[in-house]
Amino acid sequence: MKKVWIGLGTNIEPRQEHIQQALELLAKNSCITIRKQSSIYETAPVGYTDQADFLNMVLEIETSLSAEALLDFCQGIEQQLGRKRTIRFGPRTIDLDILIYNNENIKTERLIIPHPRMHERAFVLVPLSEIANELLLEKQNKRVGDLIAELPDAHDVKKWSSE
């Protein structure tokens, strides 16, 4: 079994429902076991900022799927939940990003692992730190918790409550 971290994000209502549906679809796959999940965090958009705030979280899973097969499965969930890829960094019903796959380095036309910008993104690192604070990101040779300390916007990532 491979240990994998996946980031989830959504900013199209009903946001909480999209996260929940994605979690349920991941859990239904017999080749995937969800081991840990972070809290849900609310974050401002990055890149294209004229859009609603995001809900983000990170999962640690174990899977027997290859990285490409997992990518296909995640993209299938995105399509099933109505994801439209029109604006880069634009609004989305759900986004599932493979952040780390078994500490492997993978570079294909479709997939780069570890995720090439995760170390710059508080909306990824803050939830990741909740479930894997000591995880070493090899390319940066730093632990998740140490990288967060270097991000000026980390304090803007807040735990979300549906109440």
Q: Where are the domains positioned within the chain?
A: 2-159
Query: Which one from 72, 95, 146, 153 is the annotated catalytic residue?
Result: 95
Give exposure, 58-75, as e/b (b: 16+ Cβ within 10 Å): bbbbebebebeebbebbe
Q: Say how far apart CA 27 and CA 2 lie, in whole Å.
A: 16
Q: Is residue 35 annotated as part of the catalytic site, yes or no?
A: no
In the prediction, which pLDDT does 153 show? 85
Query: Which one from 15, 35, 72, 97 is the annotated catalytic residue?
Result: 97
Mean local confidence (pLDDT), 116-142: 90
Q: Say how far apart CA 140 and CA 147 lie, in whole Å.
A: 9
> Are residues 119 and 147 in contact, defined by beta-carbon separation less than 8 angstroms?
yes
Classify domain 2-159 by CATH architecture: 2-Layer Sandwich (3.30)
Task: Look at the block and give the residue holding tokens 């692992």.
Answer: 113
pLDDT tens-digit series, residues 87-126: 666 678 899 999 999 999 999 999 999 988 899 899 999 9
Q: Is residue 72 annotated as part of the catalytic site, yes or no?
A: no
Query: Which one from 85, 88, 92, 146 is the annotated catalytic residue?
Result: 92
> Are residues 36 and 133 in contact, defined by beta-carbon separation less than 8 angstroms?
no
DSSP 119: G
| Tokens linked to 27 | 């859990």
pLDDT at 86 > cutoff 70: no
Strand partners, 41: 56, 159
What is the pTM for the complete model shown?
A: 0.92
Q: Say how far apart CA 26 and CA 24 lie, in whole Å.
A: 5
Confidence band for 76, pLDDT divided at 50, 70 and 90: very high
Q: Is residue 92 annotated as part of the catalytic site, yes or no?
A: yes
- % of the chain with per-residue pLDDT over 70: 94
The size of the chain, in residues, is: 163
Q: Is residue 146 annotated as part of the catalytic site, yes or no?
A: no
Query: Which one from 15, 53, 83, 156 is the annotated catalytic residue?
Result: 83
Mean pLDDT of the chain: 91
> Are residues 4 and 62 in contact, defined by beta-carbon separation less than 8 angstroms?
yes
